[in-house]
Amino acid sequence: MISPGAELVSRVERTVRRQRLFRPGDTLVVALSGGADSTLLLDLLSRLPGYNLRLVAAHLNHCLRGVESDADQEFCRGMASRYAIPFESRRVDVGSMAAKSRLNLEDAGRRVRIEFLDEISSTYGAAAVVLAHHADDQAETVLMRFLRGAGMTGLSGMAYRNSRGYLRPLLDITRGEIEQYLRRCSLEWREDASNSDTVYLRNRIRHQLLPLLEEYNPAIRSCLAATASIISGDEALLCELTERASAESCRVGEGRVVCSVGQLRTLNPALLRRVLRHAFKQLAGTLERVTLRHVDALCELIDSDRPNSRLALPHGVAAVRAYDRLVLRQTGEDLLETDCELLITAPGSYQLPRGGSLSVDVTSGAALPAAPGTACFDLAKIPFPWLVRTFRPGDRMIPFGMSGRKKVQDIFIDRKIPTSERTSIPLLFCGENLVWIAGLCVSELCRIDAPSAAAVQVTWQV
């Protein structure tokens, strides 16, 4: 005789196998609320043929419904006992925690659950945490994200395996099928009265919007779940393309993400938006509060004719456009640092206050600079002492081969030096005369007219 619910067990086993969710003998933490969905989940996992799973039941008491919450906890404890599996529980006053942290109840509850489940998973060395979200939950999630505004990532709904490694093997099972299974198997469950409270958006969608949409399409729930599944597959492909484009256009390091504006401009607009979001997440670790408005502003920064501009973004991130570079970094890092000065009185090696060094060596006047960071001067024309300092607005010099003075700022612009880097380039002065912008420009005032023993070579090393 076929056991009650055998068809549902077979469907879930097929999902587990196709999605490669877990392997036989794995230890799994089951998030157990006592509701119909998690009750079914625990029973199905215990029945999966050939898997012999080691299950751990984990229940979080949110302390939001007084004695009802406590009764849920004891119900789950009894379930774990009947299945002869370990039971872990915790009481957390989510209401107080939400008020203290200035979070809504849903967000506060989610954070506490993740922390609790991760801890239990680590304690037992579990392969994964298993959640009981089902097809109806998927439909509600897609609608909720659509109403709030979402792209393909949001509309792909919940994944069988999320970024934390949490598993959802019931996404193909409807709420109606869950309750039918429980009745056939004579299994009891708890009803959470708060699931009927329409103060929450999800509950309004469940009890008001979805029934209305069913008047237009009775299969709207399964249609939404199927749409999410299709979008999820497309999303996975686009994520691969985004990773490739990001690797070609951007590099991550030293607490910043640096992208080539030229390469970003060659990307399809849809792919560009994804690459920018990816770059932001690499830096900030999250995309929360990042909206289409922020991404569009970044796109405008890239398309702008202005070579230098800056944009403030959520989570304290600044986007700095510097000629052909777009730099994302935390604003806690000073973009324009304070002035630094160093006196050079004789040949030798000098450590610069903001990092790097200057080496001053006596050489032949016939010597040629060995690298862009090296220059040769006629010491008779620019005798010691020298002053090295950072750029100040209004600085001018007579560039090599010219007779008139030119603003240093204009030289920076001509050489396409980003605004954020201009204060990191040493300027060397003899008296009031600027004689060298390190690595960029030598002054006509220190030209070596003929081979001379009174010559020095200066090398700037970053």
Domains recognised in the chain with CATH numbers: 6-212 (3.40.50.620), 254-330 (3.30.465.60), 341-461 (3.50.40.10)
pLDDT in tens, 94-140: 988 888 888 788 888 899 999 999 999 999 999 999 999 999 999 99
pLDDT in tens, 313-334: 888 888 888 888 899 988 754 3
Query: What are the structure tokens assigned to 193, written together?
Result: 């009265």
Give burial (CB, 10 Å; 0-12/13-18/19+) of 356. middle
Give mean pLDDT, residues 350-363.
80
Predicted confidence at residue 333, as pLDDT, reads 43
Going by C-alpha positions, the residue among 372, 346, 341 that lies closest to residue 359 is 346
Position 378 scores a pLDDT of 86
pLDDT tens, 181-213? Answer: 999 999 999 988 878 888 878 899 999 999 999
Supply the DSSP string of 98-146, one letter for each residue: HHHHT--HHHHHHHHHHHHHHHHHHHHT-SEEE----HHHHHHHHHHHH
**What pLDDT, on the 0 to 100 scale, is given for residue 422?**
86
Q: Following DSSP, what letter does each residue of 209-260 receive, concatenated?
A: IHHHHHTT-TTHHHHHHHHHHHHHHHHHHHHHHHHHHHHHHEEEETTEEEEE
Q: How many CA atoms lie within 13 A of 358 on its CB side?
A: 29
Say what the pLDDT of residue 258 is: 93
The mean pLDDT of 57-64, rounded to a whole number, is 94
Q: So what's the pLDDT on residue 60? A: 96
Per the CB < 8 A criterion, the answer to whether 285 and 314 are in contact is no
Dump pLDDT digits (tens) for 408-460.
999 999 998 888 788 889 999 998 899 999 999 999 998 887 765 578 899 99
How far apart CA 335 and CA 323 sit, in angstroms, is 16
Mean pLDDT of the chain: 89
Summarised one tens digit per residue, pLDDT across range 1-48 is 456 678 999 999 999 999 999 999 999 999 999 999 999 999 999 999
What residue type is assigned to position 40 of the chain? L
Using a 10 angstrom Cβ sphere, with 0-12 exposed, 13-18 middle and 19 or more buried, the burial of residue 366 is: exposed
pLDDT of residue 27: 98
- 187 CB-near residues (< 8 Å, 6+ apart): 39, 40, 43, 181
What CA–CA distance (Å, rounded) separates 385 from 346? 7
What number is the average pLDDT over the span 372-378? 85
CB within 8 Å of 35: residues ≥ 6 apart: 132, 189, 190, 191, 192, 195
